[in-house]
Structure 1
Amino acid sequence: MKKKKIITAENRSRRSFLKNSLAIAAGFYIIPRHVLGGRGFIAPSDRLIVAGIGAGGKGESDLNEFFKSGKADIAFLCDVDDRQAAKSRERFPKAKYYKDFREMLEKEGKNFDAVSVSTPDHNHAIQAMAAMQMGKHVYVQKPLTHDIYEARMLTEAALKYKVVTQMGNQGSSGDGVRQLMEWYNAGVIGHVHDVHVWTDRPVWPQGIAWPAKTAPAPSEIDWNLWLGTAPQKDYVENIAPFNWRGWWDYGTGALGDMGCHLIEAPFRVLGLGYPTEAACSVSSYYTGPFRRGYFPESAPAASHVTLKFNDKKGKDHINMHWMDGGIQPERPDELGANEQMGDGGNGVIFVGTKGKMMCDTYGANARLLPLSRNKEVKTRLTIARVPGGANGHYKQWVEACIAGYNSKEANNLSSPFSIAGPLTETVLMGNLAIRSYDVRKIKPNGAAGFDYPGRGIKLLWDGPNMKITNFDDANQFVKRTYREGWALGK
């Protein structure tokens, strides 16, 4: 039986060269491809072969969206939890299934073009980096990484390995953020000096002690592979597939979960770079007789983080206020009593010298305040929209991968790592402040109680060098130590 040749990224460029050469030679005698292949025909060289690391939950919906683009084939699936992978395996029965992403990459690397990563945050970086080192295009769910150092390494790797990249913050492809940019660029609200961002997350346990009672891992989960880079710990009930988000070993808390969806709008509209300062307060640690205790393994139940940035011209400062756990900013006077702030639980408000504007999660539903201004203010459409808006985020990446690294499609992506990396670093800088807030030290000479050296101080951040310059204890959270046997390539 003749073996079918698989079209990969490597031989696609060769086919394209030959196709273009033949077309030039044929002159006016070219026959349209749709005539040869029938209406709707897509040549093999114009399809993307995708491998999915993380096939359940968000990974399942990501893979479905790639397939719905009409130009992607889901050829390989990988998940450490057979229960999570069940629906994707049923949806794509021809896709070969693996539990260990390293085995899949080693055995099948020549047979696919791109990798989708949708796993717990602590394993994003090693999985995406391994794929990029093989020359594979990558789509990685938000947040891009667990640590600031990892985000910087992936950003640099995308340039080094010349692969097409996209983070899964689909709102970056929406119309809302582009409308906000057009208003701001036109000077409608003047110079923005403060931004308020809030979310109703967490909707999972946070601000609690690590469970004392362990349990056998379900037979469907390879617990060692699930842990990956994280420290060795016994399984506890309900940690997977959802509640890992509240534990620092695996997740990035409410800020990491929603920050890339909400902070993306001000980050792009205002052209922000690295923050220069960070300060915070958190709700997990009460003083007095009713205090809940000290839970360093868990993100807090609620937090308020303030990040300071220099504006584009480096002359003025912009303060970004992040609030989670149900904390919300003061309601703008320009908003009517029965008019909803953000989408209720989440939102962003830009405060400028000439007015205010607001949006929901994903930068959606952009509007000026008061709402009557939306009928009065007219601006030209100056920024191209993504076909399909936020829903077009997936197809945009698929088409860019097919077109290639230096293509127009790749250069116009909404959230390539060149943007997503610095955005993720900004989000994780907030977490660095949160984790530094309650760094404890036993008082000298055996005195009772603790020192709280992180409380009440402002962290000064050297973004290019990834270093807190005034409180060295905070730098332990910039880059974590992986479990033995796991390493991040470069």
Structure 2
Amino acid sequence: MTTPTPSQFNRRTLLQGGAAAAVGLLAAPAILRGRNLNERLNIAVVGSGGRGGANLRSVSSENIVALCDVNENSLAQAAKAHPQAKQYVDFRQMYEDSNAFDAVVVSTCEHTHAFATMPALQLGKHVYCEKPLTYNVWEARQIREAAGRAKVATQMGTQVHAGDNYRRVVELIQSGAIGDVRDAHVWVNRAWGRHPSPEAAEAAGDFYVAERPKEAQPIPAGLDWDLWLGPAPKRDFHSVYFPGPKWYRWWDFGNGTMSDLGSHWIDLPFWALNLDHPLTIEAEGPPPHAEIAPASMMARYTYGPRGEMPAVNLTWHQGVYKPKIWTEMGIPQFNSGVLFIGDKGMLLSDYGRHMLLPEDKFVDFKTPEPSIPTSLGHHAEWIHACKTGEPTTCNFEYAGWLTEANHLGNVAYRTGKKIEWDAKNMKATNAPEAERFIRREYRKGWKLV
């Protein structure tokens, strides 16, 4: 069976009337299980502290049968609420007991997302994975394709996607409220990463670190540091990496704010504009550091026409970078936001609100009737899909393309070139040096496929 492209399936088809046709494509194994809505799923949770703890609480209406965490302190805390669950430190051992569970929630650090997710897909288990879906472009492609073969219920943890505000924005853009959109901007106020000075870090609400620490620190009691490192290169423990989310600033473990908040904020134009793979990507910011992601940067994407939608430019602004129209006070000063610029007007949005601009032009505008159903809730939607085979809205087909695009912003930044992207072959055709940022060698003993 051919996997549908995002524009064919995950946008309008999925959310504006095509759900019934999509059921068989998304979760055939779930239908074959014949599970009814009153029967509880058996769920294994990989990563139970921090964000993992929040995900665990959100699926606790089901049977939590397995808990896994490299930090035994987090594991013990989660086990207080779920004493019946079998405990593991290494998720590879957990998968040896795969008959005990139907579905897996993955909330590890970014660099191990794919390694905790791939075995579940290969075993035909439903998967919820935190954002970003994977550590790099190549892993995103492997997970997306594996999910297409598995045909299970999948969901990436972009919780705001379930809110009504995003749905109304998508309807407005796709109904032509502001005409054809040829430019879109996303900006986030968060500036976490490598700062030019301790003062700049403090102003950004971040901690200051300029280089990799030379000294090692004692590994905290209960933490299996070697397992935490997983496929990443070996290094000594230091508190600048752990606990989270400190790790996401370091290229060996994450990709900074670009891939993290990009999962939430670029999600909106990605959905509304039916995007998948960009044609070119370029970036700017401070000189790339070998070890640490930047606190502030900008990335520009070009996308070709998609169906009736024209080619569009999408620009990501992070930290001190903002769109020119924002700095010139041409729009309301949302700290973080998304701006769609159409030939009939503009639409400005953040997580919970949106407005058509200029406001006086849209005084008599009649908002279209809602066509995208209200979500059951981001986690509830996934649980429902596991049991019924109905589709989810941030499944790995959609999330895989989104994750690839976000990572490409960092690839362009680290390469220092305007990348010409061959999506089919996962190649920056004009920048072979980008290959090491698209895919990496894993530490001995770790293999994804």
TM-score by length of 2: 0.85
Which of 302, 314, 335 is matched with 1:320 structurally? 314
Residue equivalent to 1:352 = 342
1:72-221 alignment to 2 at 5 Å?
72-106=62-96, 108-203=97-192, 204-205=206-207, 208-221=210-223
* Aligned twin of 1:231: 233
Give the aligned residue type for 2:168: Q
Contact 1:206 1:246 in 2 (8 A): no
> Structure 1 residue aligned with 2:373, among 354, 376, 385?
385
d(CA) in 1 for partners of 2:446 and 2:74? 24
Distance 1:185 1:368 in 2: 14
Which of 298, 304, 310 is residue 310 of structure 1 equivalent to?
304
The question of whether the paired residues in 1 share the 8 Å contact of 2:134 and 2:140 is answered with: yes
Aligned partner of 1:433 in structure 2 is: 412
**1:367 is aligned to 2:355:** yes
C-alpha distance in 2, partners of 1:335/1:208? Answer: 33
| Aligned 8 A contact 2:30 2:386 in 1 | no
Alpha carbons 2:30, 2:152 under 8 Å: kept: no
> Secondary structure in 2 aligned to 1:272?
coil
Deviation string, structure 1 residues 324-344 (Cα, Å, up to 9, x no partner):
12322234599788x4x33x2
Structure 2 partner of 1:485: 445
Structure 1's unaligned 5+ residue stretches are 1-8, 20-41, 286-293, 438-456
Give the secondary-structure state (helix, strand or coil) at the position aligned to 2:127.
strand
Match of 1:53 in 2: 46
In structure 2, what is the Cα distance between the partners aligned to 1:207 and 1:330?
30
Shift in alpha-carbon separation, 1:97–1:319, aligned structure 2, 3 A:
same
Match of 1:306, as an amino acid? Answer: R
Give the SS at the match of 2:79: helix
Q: Given residue 433 of structure 1, which amino acid in structure 2 is its aligned partner?
A: A
Pairing of 1:239-278 with structure 2 (within 5 A): 239-242=241-244, 243-278=246-281
Shift of 1:13: 4.5
Q: 1:335·1:371 contact (CA, 8 Å) conserved in 2? A: no
Letter of the structure 1 residue corresponding to residue 397 of structure 2 = S
2: CA distance, partners of 1:15 / 1:194? 46
Distance in 1, Cα, partners of 2:320 & 2:419: 25
Flag structure 2 segments of 5+ consecutive residues without an equivalent. Answer: 1-27, 193-205
Query: What's the CA shift string for 1:294-318, capped at 9, x where partnerless?
Result: 7311111211111111131488431
Q: Which has the higher contact order (CA 8 A, sep 6+)?
A: 2
TM-score by length of 1: 0.78
Q: Hey, what does 2:21 align to over in structure 1?
A: none
Output the aligned Cα RMSD.
Answer: 2.4
Residues 4-63 of structure 1 deviation map (CA, whole Å, 9 limit, x = unaligned): xxxxx99995666xx9xxxxxxxxxxxxxxxxxxxxxx74xx211111100011111011
8 A Cα contact 1:182 1:379, kept in partner: no
Amino acid at match of 1:143: P
3-state SS of 1:93 partner: coil
Which residue of structure 1 lines up, in the alignment, with residue 398 of structure 2?
A: 419
CA contact (8 A) 1:147 1:479 kept: yes
SS in 1 for 2:282: strand
Summarize the Cα distance change of 1:52–1:119 in structure 2 as closer, same or farther, 3 Å threshold. same
Query: Paired residues, what number?
Result: 408
Structure 1 residue 387 displacement after superposition: 3.7
Take 1:257 and 1:233, find their aligned partners in 2: how far apart are those partners? 23
| Other structure's SS at 2:380 match | helix
